[in-house]
């Protein structure tokens, strides 16, 4: 993708894997609680590598000029335009796109609000797709216009473009086993170590075979440090009843102790099993990511 002549990069970010909602229909309103727009049709959900670039075109450039240039550039590169707000007759009230802001917003997130607090209603959005054998590419372009220099937003008179490029691809599993040395260092510095490499089926307490790597490293740690005694503490998320999760977390801790004693020869007197259900969360239980972090086994010395 070329850049607009005379524009400069003022923001840049890359994520190896991210979820993205691509606009393909008219924006009805902005949901401030969810911090995203609501469309007349569901957004197109894409997953893959995300590159985000923010350009500043100071001076006499308008958001209209920027948007049309990007639309023509996308078509020249073989993209199919999925949505162009400039050609959408339903776009009437641009306040649906703007985010209410206050002084706290200004201080904490200036670069983001440049795109949602423009001084004129001339804001355009374009979504496009390029089909290719190695994986589809999606582009989202937002252009806005500023009619004045603004110190609060560190914005110059002119126009800004946000260009998001999403290379569709599946996430690569990238989990690694915590080594015995890493466990030792964590215990020495934090008094505990959280392990996510010990696996169970949902609502089950049998240790799955793919947990072998983590169990091997625990056994290696305890073989190396002969005086070390460990409490094995099972943690769950908040899904299900408290009593049920207390029982489940204790059974899972028992299963880990059993595996270490029977399969790795660790003396039973050096291990004790405990279950605390969701009483000591590592993250919020309101999201799936948070719940995943809460489902863990911790080792605590005693």
pLDDT reading at 204 higher than 70: yes
pLDDT reading at 126 higher than 80: yes
Upper half-sphere CA count for residue 231 (Cβ side, 13 Å): 12
| 3 within a domain of the structure (yes/no) | no
Identify whether residues 64 and 118 lie together within a single domain. Answer: yes
- pLDDT grade for 32, boundaries at 50, 70 and 90: low
Q: Say which CATH number the domain at 99 has.
A: 3.40.1000
| 173 within a domain of the structure (yes/no) | no
Identify whether residues 96 and 133 lie together within a single domain. Answer: yes
* Residue 278 Cα to chain centre, angstroms: 23
Backbone torsions φ then ψ of 145, nearest 5 degrees: -125, 140
pLDDT reading at 173 higher than 80: no
| 1 within a domain of the structure (yes/no) | no
Identify whether residues 113 and 87 lie together within a single domain. Answer: yes
Q: What angle do CA 79, 81, 82 make, to 5 degrees?
A: 125
Distance CA 273, CA 259 (A): 12
Identify whether residues 127 and 36 lie together within a single domain. Answer: yes
C-alpha dihedral sign at 24, 29, 34, 35: positive
pLDDT reading at 118 higher than 90: no
pLDDT reading at 166 higher than 70: yes
In this structure, are residues 130 and 73 in contact, taking their beta carbons and an 8 Å threshold? no
- Average pLDDT of span 110-131: 66
The pLDDT of residue 176 is 74
The pLDDT of residue 33 is 63
The pLDDT of residue 197 is 92
Q: Closest Cα to residue 186, out of 71, 96, 296?
A: 296
Q: Say which CATH number the domain at 268 has.
A: 3.30.1330.60
The pLDDT of residue 92 is 65
- Average pLDDT of span 150-178: 79
| 94 within a domain of the structure (yes/no) | yes
Percent of the chain with pLDDT over 70: 84
How many domains does the chain fold into?
Answer: 2
Identify whether residues 76 and 225 lie together within a single domain. Answer: no
Average pLDDT score, the chain:
86
Identify whether residues 15 and 159 lie together within a single domain. Answer: yes
- Average pLDDT of span 47-70: 93
- pLDDT grade for 186, boundaries at 50, 70 and 90: very high
Identify whether residues 160 and 17 lie together within a single domain. Answer: yes
Work out the angle between the directed axes of helices 212-224 and 180-190 (0-180°, nearest 10).
70
Identify whether residues 26 and 122 lie together within a single domain. Answer: yes
Identify whether residues 24 and 155 lie together within a single domain. Answer: yes
Please state which of the ranges 63-77, 126-140, 146-160, 259-273 shows the lowest mean pLDDT.
146-160
| 218 within a domain of the structure (yes/no) | yes
Looking up tokens 């795109």 gives 115
Identify whether residues 189 and 274 lie together within a single domain. Answer: yes
| 105 within a domain of the structure (yes/no) | yes
Identify whether residues 55 and 204 lie together within a single domain. Answer: no
- pLDDT grade for 96, boundaries at 50, 70 and 90: very low
Structural domain for 61, as ranges: 8-168
The pLDDT of residue 145 is 83
In this structure, are residues 165 and 139 in contact, taking their beta carbons and an 8 Å threshold? yes
The pLDDT of residue 48 is 94
* Domain end point (choices 168, 196, 221): 168
Helix (H) or strand (E) holding 252: helix 242-264
| 51 within a domain of the structure (yes/no) | yes
- Average pLDDT of span 232-245: 95
Identify whether residues 17 and 109 lie together within a single domain. Answer: yes
Distance CA 157, CA 58 (A): 6
Distance CA 196, CA 184 (A): 16
The pLDDT of residue 111 is 40
């Amino acid at each position: 993708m070329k850049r607009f002549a005379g524009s400069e990069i003022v923001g840049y970010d890359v994520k190896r894997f991210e979820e993205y909602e691509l606009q393909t229909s008219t924006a009805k309103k902005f949901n401030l609680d969810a911090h995203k727009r609501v469309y007349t049709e569901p957004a197109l959900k894409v997953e893959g590598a995300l590159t985000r670039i923010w350009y500043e075109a100071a001076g006499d450039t308008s958001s209209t000029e920027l948007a049309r240039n990007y639309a023509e550039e996308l078509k020249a590169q073989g993209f199919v335009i999925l949505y162009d707000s400039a050609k959408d007759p339903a776009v009437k009230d641009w306040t649906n796109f703007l985010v209410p802001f206050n002084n706290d917003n200004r201080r904490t997130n200036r670069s983001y609000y440049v795109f949602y607090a423009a001084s004129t209603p001339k804001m355009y959005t374009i979504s496009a797709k390029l089909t290719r054998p190695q994986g589809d590419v999606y582009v989202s372009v937002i252009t806005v216009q500023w009619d004045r220099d603004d110190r609060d937003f560190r914005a110059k008179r002119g126009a800004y473009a946000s260009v998001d490029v999403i290379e569709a691809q599946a996430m690569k599993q990238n989990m690694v086993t915590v080594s015995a040395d890493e466990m030792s260092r964590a215990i020495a510095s934090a008094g505990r170590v959280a392990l996510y490499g010990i696996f169970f089926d949902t609502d089950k307490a049998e240790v799955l075979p793919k947990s072998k790597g983590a169990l091997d490293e625990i056994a290696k740690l305890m073989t190396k440090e002969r005086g070390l005694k460990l409490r094995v503490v099972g943690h769950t998320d908040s899904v299900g009843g408290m009593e049920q999760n207390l029982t489940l977390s204790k059974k899972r801790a028992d299963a880990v102790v059993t595996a270490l004693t029977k399969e790795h020869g660790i003396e039973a007197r050096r291990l004790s099993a405990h279950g605390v259900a969701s009483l000591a969360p590592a993250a919020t239980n309101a999201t799936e990511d948070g719940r995943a972090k809460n489902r863990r086994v911790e080792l605590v010395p005693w």
